[in-house]
Structure 1
Amino acid sequence: MGPPQARRCLLRLVLFDLDDTLVDLAGAFRRWAVEFAAAHGLPGGAVPWLVDAGRRGPKDRFFAAVGARFGLAAPGELWAAYRARMPELVVPRPGVVEGVAALRSAGWLVGVVTNGQVDNQVGKLRGTGLLDLLDGWCASGEAGVRKPDPSLFRLAARRCGWRGGVGWVVGDDPVLDVVGGRAAGLRTCWVGAGRPWPGGLAEPDRVVEDTHLAISGLLAEPV
């Protein structure tokens, strides 16, 4: 048996995606859209449009489109208000907080790798109680690269103190999480939520219905 530091470097690692994997972003976004439409007196049909448009691309582009469509000035200020509000609206997926704590107790290194601005993403982690359970995290807004770039996963792994051994990525996006995680040399678990795996992509190592089941599978891994 090697020295304690060497043993720690070979511990098992899991990197979780944040939005719609650890936390229910879709539900929070719908609640935000209802609030936003009411606060700005937007016309009927605005909420479905906001929810649909908000699924695609970076949020700076989304708020530029919102400003143009509804005649709202200062899209940068709208985006800043959104970043401040969303951490107050998100809730963790069922069993996630307890599951992450169980992984840590079982000797796993646990991290988060996420696209997004630091204030928004860290606010979600702090507000849901997840931040204090992590060994490390990495957000694209401060790293200068976005998933599926494998360098973002490697940076998150280093911040967790991992230097080798068994490593997993758990996420809900086939390209950002599975393709990116595999390119970084990690095993992959896709949270499919009943969706079919898209054609043309190499399949993940594991497919589960929800994040709680992904965590249960990791806890059942042999040491």
Structure 2
Amino acid sequence: MFGRWAVEFCADHELPDDALAWLIATDQDGFVSRDWFFGEVTERFGLAASVDDTWRQCRRRRPELVSCRQEVLASLTLLRDDGWTVAIVTNGQADNQLGKIRRTGLDQRVDAWAVSGELGIRKPAREIFEAAARGVRPRSAGWGLGDR
């Protein structure tokens, strides 16, 4: 998703050839603060838009640019067909995360989700995982997978 946004951003602002590589390197796979990142972007490229406006424009595009690999969707279907209960627990703003869940088709392949921006609870707090499990019948034990 970020790469797609960065390509669009470079084209929209008619940035030099090295801009895309700079954006991707500076983003550090999303491990830096968005406020800091968009501050750097605004300064580097001399944008007329504010840091907040640039971040807001990116945020608006995120649900439209995200995708989920077909093998991931197929694996989720196989897990559910095998009797597993599958839930998503994610930090982030509700509109953005829910848009991504729906856009990718994950909403059709999981049993539940819990979004921190909707609940006011963030991972790794136990309560957000409990919220995801509410209303579904998980097995007696569970597994958690994450990106970090």
TM-score normalised by structure 1 residue count: 0.56
- 1:98-177 equivalences in 2 (<5 Å): 98-158=74-134, 161-162=136-137, 165-173=140-148
Where do 5+ consecutive residues of structure 2 fail to align? none
Find the aligned partners of 2:91 and 2:21 in 1 and give their Cα distance: 24
Q: Match for 1:82: what amino acid?
A: C
Q: Deviations over 1:19-38 (max 9, x none)?
A: xxxxxxxxx21121111012
Give the structure with the larger helix fraction: 2
Counterpart mapping for 1:2-81 below 5 A: 28-54=1-27, 55-72=30-47, 73-81=49-57
Alpha carbons of 1:151 and 1:57: their partners in 2 closer, same or farther (altered >3 Å)? farther
Which has the higher mean CA deviation after the structures are superposed, 144-153 or 112-121?
A: 144-153
Deviation readout 1:90-141 (Å, 9 max, x if unpaired):
2212412122122222222211111222222222211111112222112222
* Contact 1:83–1:119 (8 Å) recurs in 2: no
Deviations along 1:14-59, one digit per CA (max 9) or x if unpaired, are: xxxxxxxxxxxxxx21121111012112334221221123222343
| Structure 1 residue 164, shift from structure 2 partner | 6.6
Q: Give the deviation of 1:162 after TM superposition.
A: 4.5
* Amino acid paired to 2:83: G
1:133–1:85 CA distance, 2 compared to 1 (3 A): same
| Corresponding position of 1:10 | none
Give the residue type in structure 1 aligned to 2:54: L
If asked which structure has higher relative contact order (CA below 8 Å, sep 6+), I would say 1
How many residues are matched? 145
Q: What is the root-mean-square deviation of aligned Cα atoms in Å?
A: 2.3
Q: Which one has a larger percent strand, Structure 1 or Structure 2?
A: 1
Aligned partners of 1:90 and 1:124 also within 8 Å = yes
Work out the CA distance in 1 between the residues paired with 2:122 and 2:32.
12
Aligned to 1:23: none
Query: CA–CA distance in 1 between the matches of 2:35 and 2:128?
Result: 20
CA contact (8 A) 1:113 1:153 kept: yes
Give the share of equivalent positions with the same residue, in percent. 47
- The answer to whether structure 1 residue 97 and structure 2 residue 73 are counterparts is yes
Q: State the distance in 2 between where 1:145 and 1:58 align.
A: 19
Q: Note closer, same or farther for the CA distance 1:155–1:62 as it changes in structure 2 (3 Å cut).
A: farther
